[in-house]
Amino acid sequence: MNTASIPSVSAGSLDMGIGGMTCASCVARVEKALKKVPGVQSVAVNLATESARIAYAPTEQMEARLRRAVRDAGYEPVAADAAIDAPDASPWAGFMPVAIGLALSAPLVLPMLGNLVGGHWMLPAWLQFALATLVQFILGARFYKAGWHAARNRAGNMDLLVALGTTAGWLLSMWLWLNAAPGVMPHLYFEGSAVVVTMVLLGKWLETRAKRQTTSAIRALHGLRPATAHLIGLDGEVDVPVAEVLVGDRLVVKPGERLPTDGVLQEGQTQVDESMLTGEPLPVVKDPGALLTGGSINGDGRIVMQVKAVGSETVLAQIIRLVEDAQAAKAPIQRLVDQVSAVFVPVVLAIALVTLLAWWLTGHPFEVAVINAVTVLVIACPCALGLATPAAIMAGTGVAAKHGILIKDAQALELAHKVDLVAFDKTGTLTVGQPRLTAFQPVAGGDEMTLLGAAASLQSGSEHPLARAVVAAARERGLVIPAPVTVRSVPGRGTEGELRAADDSEAAQPAYLIGSLRWMDELGVDWRALAAPAATLQDSGATVSLLARRRAAASAENNEGIEVLALLAFADEPKPGAQAALAALRARGIKTVMISGDNQGAAEAMARRLGLRPESGEVRAEVLPGDKAAQVLALKRDGHTVAMVGDGVNDAPALTAADVGMAMANVGGGGSDVAMHAAGITLMRGDPALVAAALDISDRTVAKIRQNLFWAFAYNVAGIPLAALGFLNPVVAGAAMAMSSVSVMSNALLLKRWKPKSLKTK
């Protein structure tokens, strides 16, 4: 994978941190404020990451306008990566306000507990007032500030509900105290307002602590970047900041150090641990000329590397960007949450007012009516709704990245769990992708070495795996391979070109052709002399091509006079574990199909080695590169939700056509940038087992999203009526509201324990 693998954010896109958001209603409010800015095209605000991604038409001072819009809405615009780049905080960071609140609230709660055992520990009214007021208006000042901003913008959020509810409880206690008869100790509710504020603060602290864990994957990736590099300069080896390293520099990497950037190994041999990038647990042997990836760990060899990419162009930077993109995106299921959140707070305020009037007008004491209305306001916090989806997506995409599965966006994550058919490109995906020339048979009277040299010359400029196999075979036999005079590639069929004469003269030479049997048939070439060995080789699973030459009288427009010269047979090997990977998919109830450009016999022979069943339609052979997308569309028309797995440039249309595209890459360079750009999921190493793993983490993440949404909705559906009917009090409501968010975050964090089954069994 090189520098173009993962696109960077365009000039018309901005990531911004949003400080002060507390619930799903805040998300809706920030999005509404940003969308009002002229030129903004789309906005996605994420509560779990406390960030926004804005796409806009480039306009003067747009970034300043966006920041002003956030501030005017009552929130604080901050750097998008402030939370990520901040040093790791203590587990108890930010707990001081909670500790003070607990200390001040405890004396108010103890008399309630004393009543349960027959004790009478009620504090004097003035002391209750003093303790509760400190909690209400000093520790709870943040709720008033944020609630005021929401009210001023004709919106509502969690802070407004908490501020209104606790203030109502405090005012009711003041009214009862000041209007009590002399010498009478009224029942006050100061403890309710104080405990609610404290419990909400505790819940937000626990939530923030859990959020830090959901961003651990991004933090770990950021932590892979070393601060300095050992540069070989004019004065010898010197240490310089990695930010000052330039493309072309030569760097020394000592044993056990992280590679500072991407490059090529020039001197030395070593083994490199790439597990944090690819999920591959075993070190990879690196010889001179091998590609090196920044962030991986050098083994026991001192090496010298030449820098090929720096900064945002490195593989590590692009992987970080891809994971951040996925975590910033909204899943389609989030639309339901957004619709509910937009009207949630006004509906809750209406229910609280109805509760107050209903209890009061039915003859109950006014203080009872107020307490029940307060309970409705406190318990109806939409925090859990706002965190349900993004928390699960962050945890799922983070743990997937740890094991070499990069999920490009939330939509791909959500669609992947619906996949019931996986289509694989054959070469490089299910097979090793390094075919060998296993047979070269000239026609009678032909000179094998001369013809092999001609075939190698014609193929010397191509990067096709079969072309590389021809060149490698010629070099193994010590042949000199001159560059061709002209070459024309015929996609999906073969290559045609003119070669240099034996005496290296400028005389025009007949054109040579090398390509598939289908192409030769289309050209009307008579290859009956090689039909028998071709059939035998195809039945054994080999891919067969022919070398031919146009006679002097023939031309590109006139195919008469083309003579066949030799037969070439190529063989590839299945990837280790490919058969087990296909079996794992079938065990999940997922159908598998192999798409290949090989002839039917060769494709079926390889399919059987992989455990596929050609008789059941699991092989699509003789498919031209441009027709792969049509095959995928045909499978979709049959009613399947299709995932397409490929690794080549010609796989990009098929990856785009599929419901979910999976590009198989390799940080060592074995992957297509175009394929990765077209795919929704990138598998960072060429292991087919990652396909089942990607579908599994998708299943589990979507399950967590649904569980979270169910409990978030169920909590409010059950809690609000219970509060309105008087079965709860503000203290219990505050505790339940705080724990609802914590439970959603904790449930999402269970995804961090996920491992691909292939690793569980090791």
The tokens describing 520, both together, are 């030769």
Interval 237-241 mean pLDDT: 93
Taking the CA of residue 75 as centre, how many other CA atoms within 13 Å lie in the half-sphere pointing to its CB? Answer: 33
Q: How far apart are CA 275 and CA 281, in angstroms?
A: 5
Which tens digits make up the pLDDT trace of 263-287? 999 999 999 988 777 777 778 889 8
Select which of 325, 425, 598, 647 is catalytic. Answer: 425
Name the residue among 5, 54, 48 with its Cα closest to residue 32. Answer: 54
The pairing of strands 421-425 and 642-646 is: parallel
Q: How far apart are CA 188 and CA 173, in angstroms?
A: 5
Q: How far apart are CA 15 and CA 219, in angstroms?
A: 17
Share of the chain above pLDDT 90, in %: 36
Flag whether pLDDT at 3 surpasses 80. Answer: no
Interval 17-35 mean pLDDT: 86
Q: Would you give the DSSP letter of residue 597?
A: S
pLDDT at 20: 84
The tokens describing 322, both together, are 């891809």
For helices 383-402 and 24-35, the axis angle rounded to 10 degrees is: 90
Q: How far apart are CA 21 and CA 157, in angstroms?
A: 9
**In the chain, how long is the greatest CA-to-CA distance?**
126
pLDDT at 87: 53
Flag whether pLDDT at 649 surpasses 50. Answer: yes
Which tens digits make up the pLDDT trace of 57-93? 888 889 899 999 999 888 889 876 655 555 555 677 8
Buried b (16+ CB within 10 A) or exposed e, 45-80: bbbbbbbbbbebeeeeebeebbeebbeebbbebbeb
The tokens describing 352, both together, are 């609280």
* 8 A C-beta contact, residue 726 and residue 368: yes
**Can you tell me which residue has the tokens 């026609």?**
443
Name the pTM for this structure.
Answer: 0.73
Flag whether pLDDT at 584 surpasses 90. Answer: yes
- All domains in the chain, ordered by first residue: 13-85 (3.30.70.100), 96-217+324-394+700-753 (no CATH), 227-259+262-309 (2.70.150.10), 407-432+574-684 (3.40.50.1000), 436-571 (3.40.1110.10)
pLDDT at 667: 52
Flag whether pLDDT at 666 surpasses 70. Answer: no
- Residue 383: which pLDDT band, with cuts at 50, 70 and 90? confident
* 8 A C-beta contact, residue 310 and residue 247: yes
Q: How far apart are CA 170 and CA 165, in angstroms?
A: 9
Flag whether pLDDT at 5 surpasses 70. Answer: no
Separation of CA 593 from chain center: 25
Q: How far apart are CA 287 and CA 226, in angstroms?
A: 23
pLDDT at 670: 43
Interval 153-159 mean pLDDT: 75
The sign of the dihedral angle between the CA atoms of 154, 158, 163, 166 is: positive
pLDDT at 395: 87
At residue 555, the 3 state secondary structure works out as coil
Which tens digits make up the pLDDT trace of 492-524? 788 888 887 665 555 556 789 999 888 998 888
Flag whether pLDDT at 344 surpasses 50. Answer: yes
Q: How far apart are CA 734 and CA 740, in angstroms?
A: 10
Flag whether pLDDT at 397 surpasses 90. Answer: no
Flag whether pLDDT at 219 surpasses 80. Answer: no
Mean model confidence pLDDT for the chain? 84
Choice between 654 and 321, residue whose per-residue pLDDT is larger: 654
pLDDT at 253: 95
Paired with 15 in beta bridges are 53
Name the residue among 5, 188, 7 with its Cα closest to residue 108. Answer: 188
- Residue 674: which pLDDT band, with cuts at 50, 70 and 90? low
The tokens describing 440, both together, are 């070269």
pLDDT at 759: 54
Paired with 751 in beta bridges are none
- State yes or no: is 425 an active-site residue: yes
Interval 289-312 mean pLDDT: 91
Q: How far apart are CA 661 and CA 692, in angstroms?
A: 13
Q: Per-residue DSSP letters for 263-296?
A: EEEEE--EEEE-HHHH---S-EEE-TT-EE-TTS
* 8 A C-beta contact, residue 60 and residue 25: no
Flag whether pLDDT at 236 surpasses 90. Answer: no
The arrangement of strands across the sheet holding 13-19 comes to 40-46, 51-56, 13-19, 76-78
* 8 A C-beta contact, residue 623 and residue 558: no
- Residue 8: which pLDDT band, with cuts at 50, 70 and 90? very low
